[in-house]
Structure 1
Amino acid sequence: MSMRRLDTADAAFDAQFAALTDRDSPEQTEIDARVAAIIADVRERGDEAVLEYTRELDRRDGVAFDALEISRERMQRALDALAADDRAALEAAAERIASFAESQKIAPVRYHDDDGNELGQIVRPIERAGIYAPGGKAAYPSSVLMNAVPAKVAGVGEIVMVSPAPEGVLNEWVLAAAAVAGVDRFFTIGGAQAVAALAYGTEHIPEVDKIVGPGNAYVASAKRQVFGRVGIESVAGPSEVLIVADGTGDPEWAALDLFAQAEHDEMARAMLVSPDADYLDAVDAAVERLIADQPRAAIIRAALDGHGALIRCADLDDALRLVNAIAPEHLELAVADPDALLDGIRHAGAIFMGHRTPEAFGDYCAGPNHVLPTGRTARFSSALGAYDFQKRISVVSASEAGARRLAPIAVRLAEGEGLHAHAASAAARAGGGSTD
């Protein structure tokens, strides 16, 4: 296959680029309406509704609700049954993710100002987190680790995981990953009904405080609609990679990195930008030469045909302009001196530096999280981390001198807002009296 070619020097580039990176879905309104009905039904009928949707959508005719929960013992059996090398890889990845998550934990703050007031914040973990792990077309044990391990590091009291099991087929890697990550309860349900059950609780499924983890368009819509009732980390869209190349790398490596992103699903987005036209030709040739060897070649072709491109730019500064316009989930700097480009990057979910750092390392075992902002949301959000499972609670303790200093400020501002009880409350402390 030959990939779509664009050139920033062409007069039509802006229109072509806008069409390529457009994330609007004409089906979204219909999806949102369907999801809203599912959420309302689960709120009203609880387990009964969840069971009906699971039987219908996951083709699990006749399954009883008790059969939807996986025991800790069953998770451990899956882990124990893995080949030694597979188990070692899973545990090594979990250890690296945990080590990085430890570095992200928010520290408490306490200090005294010049008037002796004590100010600060204390940090508390979320009590119960819900983890959504994809199922269906593909199952991702790595997503189990990336979502559950930071929650465990943050001190979350209970981790409740949901993951669909179409036709009752369980993925042993997912079960094993749940055991490694310390998942407390695991229900084989998915879709909008699983998100609704976590957000509102049912007879058997506990209500959680925050829901994290990627899913399909229905899961994304459900997370968006229950936000406010519970916290969420983001609303995930199609996965994406942008490779910035200066022509010094191996074009076959670049082709494989494009494949690695495109094989997720037909909506995945994989692009490469370079000022070197000969290098773009070499990457295109490598794509055509290597794609036939890919087991998921049909999915890769569909993704690259629909959402892939090789883009010629004027220079690396021009490439950075595109980076910041796209705000990619994954950004590979396949250049001789990646550090020289860092200052120019304002928006990206994760950056992979140099020719020997493929995005696949980040997906599995580098340490930083692979749950990343998609669809230009890297403009205002960040990778999932231990901090997402922690809350900051402000602490204020006024001294006698501090109360005298703070009271008149508060009084003036309160009166300016017309909140006279606020003003009176503050003024009462101005005299330095004591209730002791």
Structure 2
Amino acid sequence: MPAPTSPSSKRNPSPPKVTPEKSETLKQLRANVGQLSTSTMRKLEQSLPWYSRLSADERSALGMVAQNGIAAFVTWYERPSSPSWILTDVFGTAPTELTRSISLQKALQLIRIVVEVVEDQVPVIAPEADQPSLREAVLRYSREVAFAAADVYARAAESRGSWDTRLEALIVDAILRGENTDALRSRIAALGWKAQERFTVMVGNSPSEPSASYVSELRRMAGRYAEDALVGIQGDRLILILGGVQDRESAYVKLSEMFAPGPVVYGPEASSLLEASGSAQSAFAGLTAARAWPSAPRPVAADDLLPERVISGDDAARRSLVKNIYRPLLAASNGLVETLGTYLELGHSLEATARELFVHANTVRYRLKRVCDVTGWDPLLPREAFVLQAALVVGRLSAPPKAATERQASRNQA
């Protein structure tokens, strides 16, 4: 009864018998390694136009890979073994340089050239009886090297993907903190950011357990509406930084569908990515205050939540109301502040306001239209009237006491 074959003996078979023809072929292969390498380098320059455009260091790295491949083939031909050694014997320390210099497609073109050079020399190197086995060995070896090259590029892509993810997280965090340094500019450039204008930050709730496919899908959708996008997930918050947004209204509505249930707020546009921190701060302040407006649209602009943000203690919202609404109304004069205040205090009644101010109702209409022209907010619409009323409140509180008293006295005299 034959002895059982152990698993280890199957994994490590005994070396094949070396025939006289193969022995002669091995001898010729070893003697012609230098010639094969020289022929390979010459054919690379003649057959691959992109090869001559590489830098000297890049051509040197690729040449080393080709020479290692030929030298390793001799060892492999003597005793074919597991292809795991190919990564070190052929590519050596070149994977990083290789993946930076050329694409996988070009790497496979290089392997094809090496195979062609060796095949062309088969009649010279091997005796006629051993030529078929040598050609077969070249083909098998080229297959192993091609798979090894694909493995090198796959690992490099995974490494780059992980690095890009970490770099993106650092950039998002720096923007949220308002960092404006050379390091941030360098990171943005390294990430390949292309957009130069129209930067906006959207924030909302993130899924409880976001998957890699979810983030990828969000990036793809953002790419349909913006030139560039950064995605950040911080706890239960999802941050989306967009650059070069086209068709903003449609973009915000479609992208809001990718957020988890709850309010979604987008900040005002920033002129550069480094200034997007202001948009992010407004968006986060709006997200905090959004629950005070249950019927708010989804998504909602942070500037549409100015009253709620002021009440929640957002000083930036208070300054915005004073700067963009209250002071322009004061500068416009013509009784706009007094007319608007009276109109709001008297329950939005044109007739009651006209009687209180001793003017015609058409004069009130004209002044209220002027309020809309000056501020962009229409006092005839309830929600926008609420924003204007909040602006009057914070504006009066921010005015010097003497100026406020004088305006009240002037109003009483009128």
The TM tier, using the shorter chain, reads under 0.3
Higher relative contact order (CA 8 A, sep 6+): 1
TM, length-normalised to structure 1: 0.22
User: Larger helix proportion, structure 1 or 2?
Assistant: 2
Q: TM-score, normalised by structure 2?
A: 0.23
Which has the larger share of strand?
1
Higher radius of gyration, 1 or 2? 2
